[in-house]
Amino acid sequence: MRASTALLLSLVATPSFTLSPPHPPRAVARTARAAATMASDCVLPAGLEKLVKAMASLPDDKYRYKQLLHWAAEAPSLSEEARIDANKVPGCLSTVHVTAELRDDGETVEIRGDSDAQLTKGLVVLLAKGLTGATPAEVSLVDASFIRKAGVAASLTPGRNNGFVNMLNVVKAKVAALDG
């Protein structure tokens, strides 16, 4: 038997493959689960809830990551006067500073933050955008689990996740001091 005939017979003898229906990517399934449970177990200020839903609606982790980097690039830096130890977030892999103050209305807060790393700065901007305009009482009720609902936690290292929790805790403590 010639080599070409042997090759043809081996191709013909190969079992056929059946195609199964396509499945949605895991990221889409995660996004759908996150959106379904969004309102059920976490109380968020309106601004933060809007951002969480927007992030969760992005098609995959890559787009959420890019959004954080975009926010970091467009956000202003904190002044040198605000970059003091009292505003530094402990336990972060990057150097992070956050400030909180009452707005002119005396009822809502304004959060600002900065970091020497772009991804971390994006996370600070997420907090600042989401919590600015909230009352101190609303800020006190925010649970760090919202980062999972936003679909962001999956693309963060454990160290960055811990740093994010520390950022939120420092913001909450600063806001509580304003209310006291």
So which residues are the catalytic ones? 92
Listing DSSP states for 68-133 in one string gives HHHHHHHSPPPPGGG-SGGGBPTT-SS-EEEEEEE-TTSSSEEEEEEESSHHHHHHHHHHHHHHTT
**CB-CB contact of 147 with 164 (8 Å):** yes
The Cβ of residue 7 has, within 10 Å, a number of other Cβ atoms equal to 10
Q: Is 106 left (phi over 0), alpha (psi -120 to 50) or beta?
A: left
**Distance from C-alpha of 35 to C-alpha of 56, rounded to nearest angstrom:** 7
